[in-house]
Amino acid sequence: MQWGDEGKGKVTDYFGEKSDYVVRYQGGNNAGHTVAVGEKVFKFHLLPSGVVQGKRCCIGAGVIIDPRVLAKEIDDFGTKLDLVIDPRAHIIMPYHVALDLLGEGKKGEVKIGTTGRGIGPCYADRAARIGVRFEELIDKQKLSEKLDKVFPLKLAIIEKVYEAQAPFTKESILEEYGALGEKLKPYFGDVSLEICKALDSNKKVLFEGAQGMFLDNDFGTYPFVTSSHPIAGGAFVGVGMGIKNINKIIGVSKAYTTRVGDGPFPTELFGKESDDLRAKGNEFGTTTGRPRRVGWLDLNVLRTAVRINGASEIALTKLDVLNGLLKIKLGVAYNANGKRTEEFPISTADAAKATVEYKEFPGFNFDPAKIKSKNDFPKEVKDYLAFIERSLGTKIIMISIGPERTQTILM
């Protein structure tokens, strides 16, 4: 519902237990999901979080795959995986990573603060019709033919435009990626076909988004966005299925807001206030380790996110992090471009200059160990949550008050 890192991993793990399938539909290893089970903490970038529950997990056509990262994640996980990869999914090549980093450097046009994983250049090649698909990765002949066409151009851009040196050759890529293709070949399968059939036979399928609403390539704070469609609608295109049979869209939101990378963030906090919240919430990127920017919860953000995602309910995470604050602020409206608004501005320049109208709530301090049901929350928490629900016209169905599976309260 915000800029990602809202605790989707934990929420997916929870609902994954009751699902037959867990499916990823967009993004790549720019994502980082953390799932804690007892002593064990799993951190995934590409594998759907449902692997922890032993579910059949799918990587849909809309996902882009760095095969080095996926192969390592599969090895590190250890146990046998029930995994299917759609042959249409695109592959992040070494030159995509190089071009992402070079584009973020001095010679690039706009600095986005990307994760440096090659995401933008890979999706750009997909749109430009010069990408490498999973079906080509697993066939050395096809991979070689594709590289013959594409590699000279990529090398020329690296060497001539950026005046950099490439740490790879066509031959080194063919050898390494050919081997990775062989390793990943057993997971080849038509995810679109399988999921359409599963939905038609009333199987339970959980679609796990990555990144966040305001990083969506069209509906986020462009150009400070990612290159895919994290919004719920992205699932239809990213899996290859019709717009039917979806009965629930759960919007995951943190009880405050964070953002990594550049771009507008109207309720951002600075100085000591931000340092304290960042430390309490351990707000450092799972993928890059960067300190996250932190700020208050923002109803303009959530209202727009509920509408565009069609969220039927909300899971609110990390509420315990707000414990002990004297006052809690909630953004209720903006003044943007000379007007009061309750929507997130379309123009990124307007959003960057927006001033926020806040409502203040008294702080609270509950002991997570003593909260077993929603009735156990102090009155201040109940009032705060009720105000959010009323403002959004959407029910909060789950609250997370700690990283553990058990620290999850159904409302």
Residues forming contacts to ligand IMP in the complex (CB under 6 A) are 3-5, 30-32, 112-115, 117, 119-120, 210-211, 215, 224, 226-227, 260-261
What is the rounded CA–CA span in Å between residue 199 and residue 186? 24
Task: Candidates 28-36, 56-64, 109-117, 259-267: pick the segment binding Mg ion (CB under 5 A).
Answer: 28-36
By beta-carbon proximity to ligand IMP, the closer residue of 132 and 215 is 215
What is the rounded CA–CA span in Å between residue 331 and residue 345? 14
Q: Which of 32, 62, 118, 220 contacts Mg ion by CB under 5 A?
A: 32
- Residue 146 touches which of Mg ion, ligand IMP, none (Cβ within 5-8 Å per kind): none
The residue type of 114 is: T
- The DSSP bridge partners found for residue 183 are none
Q: DSSP per residue over 60-125, as a string?
A: -TTBEE-HHHHHHHHHHH-S---EEE-TT-EE--HHHHHHHHHHTSTTSS------SSSHHHHHHH
Residue 6: closest CA among 36, 32, 29, 37: 32
Catalytic residue positions, numbered: 5, 33
Q: Is residue 5 part of the contact set for Mg ion (CB under 5 A)?
A: yes
| 83, 87, 90, 91: CA torsion to nearest 10 | 70
Query: What is the nearest approach in angstroms of ligand IMP to the Cβ of residue 260?
Result: 4
Query: What is the nearest approach in angstroms of ligand IMP to the Cβ of residue 5?
Result: 5
Distance of CA 73 to the CA centre of its chain: 17
Q: What is the DSSP letter of 251?
A: E
What is the rounded CA–CA span in Å between residue 128 and residue 130? 6
By beta-carbon proximity to ligand IMP, the closer residue of 210 and 269 is 210
- Residue 2 touches which of ligand IMP, Mg ion, none (Cβ within 5-8 Å per kind): none
Q: Which residue minimizes CB distance to ligand IMP?
A: 261
Q: What is the DSSP letter of 370?
A: G
Task: Candidates 27-35, 164-172, 311-319, 345-353: pick the segment binding Mg ion (CB under 5 A).
Answer: 27-35
By beta-carbon proximity to Mg ion, the closer residue of 229 and 254 is 254
- Residue 316 touches which of Mg ion, ligand IMP, none (Cβ within 5-8 Å per kind): none
What is the rounded CA–CA span in Å between residue 219 and residue 229? 9
Q: Is residue 209 part of the contact set for Mg ion (CB under 5 A)?
A: no
Query: What is the nearest approach in angstroms of Mg ion to the Cβ of residue 284?
Result: 11
Q: What is the DSSP letter of 405?
A: T
Task: Candidates 26-34, 75-83, 157-165, 198-206: pick the segment binding Mg ion (CB under 5 A).
Answer: 26-34
By beta-carbon proximity to Mg ion, the closer residue of 90 and 259 is 259
SS3 (DSSP) at 208:
strand
By beta-carbon proximity to Mg ion, the closer residue of 114 and 192 is 114
177 phi-psi bin (left φ>0, alpha ψ -120 to 50, beta other): alpha
Alpha helices in 115-248 (DSSP H): 119-127, 134-137, 140-156, 170-184, 191-200, 234-239
Query: What is the nearest approach in angstroms of ligand IMP to the Cβ of residue 242?
Result: 27
Query: What is the nearest approach in angstroms of ligand IMP to the Cβ of residue 280?
Result: 19
- Residue 215 touches which of ligand IMP, Mg ion, none (Cβ within 5-8 Å per kind): ligand IMP
By beta-carbon proximity to ligand IMP, the closer residue of 87 and 113 is 113
Task: Candidates 47-55, 189-197, 281-289, 358-366: pick the segment binding Mg ion (CB under 5 A).
Answer: 281-289
Which residues lie near Mg ion (CB under 5 A)?
A: 5, 32, 286
